[in-house]
């Protein structure tokens, strides 16, 4: 069997265009807009020989593939590696990297812990933290917004919401980046992430144990499900790990990208200040426009077809969520950032049964941060060049020098 990056190499069905590109070079990851446009121009699916995968970047097919968990499974991994053949770098997630019926049980437990009711009590603590951090930055005037705001806020509120006794900002943020880099090929980004495993993974694993969590957080709700016999104690620890995999770097990226959008579009920021009800739609547009998770894969678990093209069992399909979110066939003026667009149906949280289970918590964090900014900061300006951080699955800033002008 001929393997590439942990999955079976195959010949594409007749008619699928072949595109000789590497979507995981630094150049493409840093300037993906041209890659997405070309991907969509090629058609609903393209074959990328470098990795022997299909890629899709148009809205309709991306949604179709994400909406059908029977044909396009997650249990074989949501990166390039096919878990049927390649060894996963960590024990697979019991919510992300599984299919029904296993998924149904764990999803229910996580969805309950992240329900509007369960997270409604977090609002005041989130607002206090946002006000304190933003007040400090307004007093400072100039600062590096990735570390001092985008990371500072989630790392202050999220471990506390979980009930974590131990919190280590660097390891929490780097673990998220590691999980996402692991979804790509064996390139320099994945290798650099894997080099951090010995330092970070044992720390993460220990932090997920029942006795490292308070009795009043979201983590305790997961262990409560173990007490009720819904999941085992080991499964509860794995679900707490999922919080740390998916809940930190994603929201850090969301905040950073939101600041970048608003600094780049001062008129849109003026509209937010004039109407705080735009905080939520503003975040949805940030998600559509910048897609914090740019790519997830699925694996065809049977011979099938999409848009009339044959897809063989075992085929990995890279779904460029960021490209679907910029598809002109779906969105008017997709390259314009408009905070009142209300981009219903964007793909930034995915779709279908695996759609982001933490999206209400993410929205709560961002709504509060954006509201506090709009209340306290008159102008958000660049204080130097923003620098993006290449990652195999996440679209995040590395550095964002900003200036806040107080109201």
| Sites of contact with ligand OVM (CB under 6 A) | 93, 95-96, 179-180, 242, 245-246
Cβ pair 269, 262 in contact under 8 A = yes
Cβ closest to ligand OVM, residue 242 vs residue 371: 242
For the bound state, the minimum distance from the C-beta of residue 256 to ligand OVM, rounded and expressed in Å, comes to 17
In angstroms, what is the minimal distance from the CB of 241 to ligand OVM? Answer: 6
CB of 204 to ligand OVM, least distance (A): 11
Q: Which is nearer to ligand OVM, 93 or 257 (CB)?
A: 93
Residue 362 or 377 having the CB closest to ligand OVM: 362
- Least distance in angstroms from the C-beta of 126 to ligand OVM: 21
For 143, phi and psi rounded to 5 degrees?
-165, 170
Are 329 and 58 in contact by the 8 Å Cβ rule? The answer is yes
- Closest CB to ligand OVM among 161 and 246? 246
Tell me how far, at minimum, the Cβ of 318 lies from ligand OVM, in Å: 14
Give the nearer residue to ligand OVM in terms of CB position, either 287 or 306: 287
Min separation Cβ 245 and ligand OVM, Å: 3
CA separation for the pair 300, 353 (Å, rounded): 16
Q: Closer CB to ligand OVM, residue 175 or residue 388?
A: 175
Please tell me the distance from the alpha carbon of residue 377 to that of residue 266, in angstroms, as a whole number: 12
When the beta carbons of 89 and 153 are compared against ligand OVM, the nearer one is 89
Q: Nearest-CA neighbor of 57 among 17, 91, 92?
A: 17
Give 246 or 339: the residue with its C-beta nearer to ligand OVM: 246
Cβ proximity to ligand OVM: between 250 and 371 the closer is: 250
d(CA 86, CA 7): 7
Closest CA to 382 of 263, 256, 255: 263
Q: Which CB atom, from 74 or from 156, has the smaller least distance to ligand OVM?
A: 74
CB of 95 to ligand OVM, least distance (A): 5
Q: Nearest distance from residue 223's CB to ligand OVM, in Å? A: 17
CB of 367: closest distance to ligand OVM in angstroms?
21
Structure-token pair, residue 50: 């470098």
Residue 383 CB, nearest approach to ligand OVM (Å): 31
Q: Is the peptide bond before 58 cis (omega within 30 degrees of 0)?
A: no
Place of tokens 């304190």: 132
Residue 27: is it exposed, middle or buried by C-beta count within 10 angstroms (0-12/13-18/19+)?
exposed
Of the two residues 54 and 95, which places its CB atom closer to ligand OVM in the complex? 95
Q: How far is the CB of 257 from ligand OVM (least distance, A)?
A: 17
């Amino acid at each position: 069997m001929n393997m590439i990056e942990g999955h079976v190499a195959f010949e594409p069905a007749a008619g699928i265009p072949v595109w000789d590109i590497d979507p995981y070079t630094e150049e493409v990851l840093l300037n993906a807009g041209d890659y997405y446009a070309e991907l969509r121009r090629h058609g609903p699916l393209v074959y990328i020989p470098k990795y022997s995968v299909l890629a899709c970047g148009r809205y309709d097919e991306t949604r179709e593939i994400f909406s059908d968990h029977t044909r396009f499974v997650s249990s074989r991994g949501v990166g390039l590696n096919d878990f049927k053949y390649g060894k996963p770098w960590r024990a697979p997630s019991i919510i992300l990297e599984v299919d029904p019926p296993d998924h149904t049980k764990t999803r229910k437990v996580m969805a309950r812990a992240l329900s509007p009711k369960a997270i409604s009590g977090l609002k005041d603590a989130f607002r206090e933290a946002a006000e304190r951090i933003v007040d400090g930055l307004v007093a400072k005037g100039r600062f590096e917004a990735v570390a001092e705001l985008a990371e500072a806020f989630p790392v202050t509120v999220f471990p506390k919401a979980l009930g974590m006794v131990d919190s280590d900002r660097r390891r929490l943020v780097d673990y998220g980046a590691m999980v996402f880099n692991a979804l790509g090929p064996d390139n320099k980004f994945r290798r650099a992430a894997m080099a951090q495993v010995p330092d970070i993974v044992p720390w993460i694993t220990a932090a997920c144990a029942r006795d490292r969590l308070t009795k009043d957080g979201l983590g305790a709700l997961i262990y409560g499900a173990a007490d009720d016999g819904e999941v085992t104690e080991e499964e509860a620890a794995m679900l707490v790990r999922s919080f740390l995999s998916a809940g930190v770097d994603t929201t850090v990226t969301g905040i950073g990208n939101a600041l970048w959008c608003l600094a780049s579009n001062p008129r849109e920021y003026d509209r937010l200040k004039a109407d705080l009800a735009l905080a939520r739609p503003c975040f949805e547009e940030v998600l559509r426009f910048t897609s914090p998770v740019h790519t997830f894969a699925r694996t065809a678990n049977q011979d099938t077809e999409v848009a009339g093209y044959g897809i063989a069992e075992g085929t990995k399909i890279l779904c460029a969520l960021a490209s679907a979110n910029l598809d002109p066939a779906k969105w008017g003026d997709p390259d314009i950032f408009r905070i009142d667009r209300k981009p219903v149906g964007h793909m930034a949280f995915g779709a279908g049964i695996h759609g982001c289970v933490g999206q209400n918590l993410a929205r709560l964090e961002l709504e509060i941060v954006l509201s506090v900014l709009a209340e306290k900061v008159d102008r958000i300006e660049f204080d130097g060049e923003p620098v993006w951080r290449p990652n195999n699955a996440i679209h995040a800033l590395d550095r964002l020098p900003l200036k806040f002008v107080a109201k």
